[in-house]
Amino acid sequence: MTERPGSTLAARPLHFFIVADCSGSMAADGKMQALNNAIRETLPHLVDVANQNPHAALLVRSIAFSSGARWHIEQPTRVDQLEWQNLSTGGYTDLGAALDLLAPQLTAPFMEERALPPAILLISDGMPTDDYKPALGRFLDEPMGRVAVRMAVGIGRDADLEVLERFIGSSSESVLTANNPEQLVRMIRWASTHASRVASNLVPLSHSVGPMTGDEISTPEELIW
């Protein structure tokens, strides 16, 4: 009998969370439309990353936060099967609510023991309107929250970069900023593919993230937002 011992083999789940600010201010100057476009444009690149790392099963979920927070994509969805539905805007910037929605997903049974450290991309154009610090503490108390590949994109001059820096913590990555639609596409694409690639690496974030290279940073400097 030559049958391989043990049960079915499978790639390790890599959960990728897109946590998007959908507050009323995102409606201004086409920011939300640009964000939807940027994410949609990024998906094929994420498929490429997934294909390059067959040992990681890239599964996307998304949280929209405004007045409170809700799942925009609740079921972990394979990136090649993902159809991005437009996010809509309206309400406050309850980041704490988003983190409280996210944190429980980082433990069993939602997060498999064999899952790779998740990748989390936070996108915001403003200051939190709820008391987000306790929620951030709870999120970072989760072991998988602590080791997650955390990246953040601030949209426009009103984005609270300090808050976004607190979210990404002490990693060598800095908060990315986007001041026009082209930059947003580049940043979302880079952050998403980079986070996925790093998280596929089988090693914790703090030991592997490098800074954006010159080519990657090079974007149009026009200030729209």
Partner 1 sequence: VTTTAGRWAAVTASVRGASHERNGKPNQDAVRVVQSKGPTPGLVAAVCDGHGGDRYVRSDVGSRLGVEVACEVARRALDQLVALPDQATLESQLRGPLTETIVQRWRERVLDDVRARPFTDEERSRAKSPLDGDPLISYGCTLLLAVLTPSWVGLLQIGDGDVTVVRGSTVESPVPDDDRLVGGETTSLCLPTAVTDVRVHVVSEPLPDTLILTTDGYANSFADPNWRTHAGIDLRDQIHRTGLDAVETRLPAWLADSASAGGDDVSMALIQRVDAARSAATAPARPAALPVATGGAASGIGRGVLVASLIAVLLIGTGIGWLIGRQSDTTTAAATTTIATTIGATTTTTTLPTSTTAAPPASTDPPTSPPPTPTTAAPVLASGEHAIVFSDGRVLIFDPDQARPGRVLQYSQVIASGEAPGLGDGWTFVDGGLVFRNRPPVPASAVSRTATFVWAVSGDGANLTSYDAETGKQVGGPVTIEGDLTAVGGTGQPDSIPDTTPATPVATDGTPNQAISTTGG
Contact between 204 and partner 1 per CB under 8 A: yes
The correct pick among 40, 70, 138, 146 for binding partner 1 (CB under 8 A) is 146
Check: CB of residue 59 under 8 Å from CB of residue 13. yes
The correct pick among 112, 131, 158, 222 for binding partner 1 (CB under 8 A) is 112
- Residue listed under structure tokens 């450290």: 117
The correct pick among 68, 201, 212, 216 for binding partner 1 (CB under 8 A) is 201
The correct pick among 28, 203, 217, 223 for binding partner 1 (CB under 8 A) is 203
Handedness of CA 97, 103, 108, 113 (dihedral sign): positive
Distance CA 110, CA 92 (A): 28
Backbone dihedral region for residue 39 (phi beyond 0: left; psi -120 to 50: alpha; all else: beta): alpha
With CA atoms as reference, report the closest residue to 16 among 111, 108, 85, 98. Answer: 111
Q: CB of residue 116 vs partner 1: minimum separation in angstroms?
A: 7
Query: Which of the stretches 54-62, 68-76, 78-86, 129-137 binds partner 1 when contact is defined by CB under 8 A?
Result: 54-62
Q: Which residues would be at the binding site for partner 1 (CB under 8 A)?
A: 1-12, 52-56, 112-114, 116-117, 143-144, 146-148, 200-204, 206-208, 210
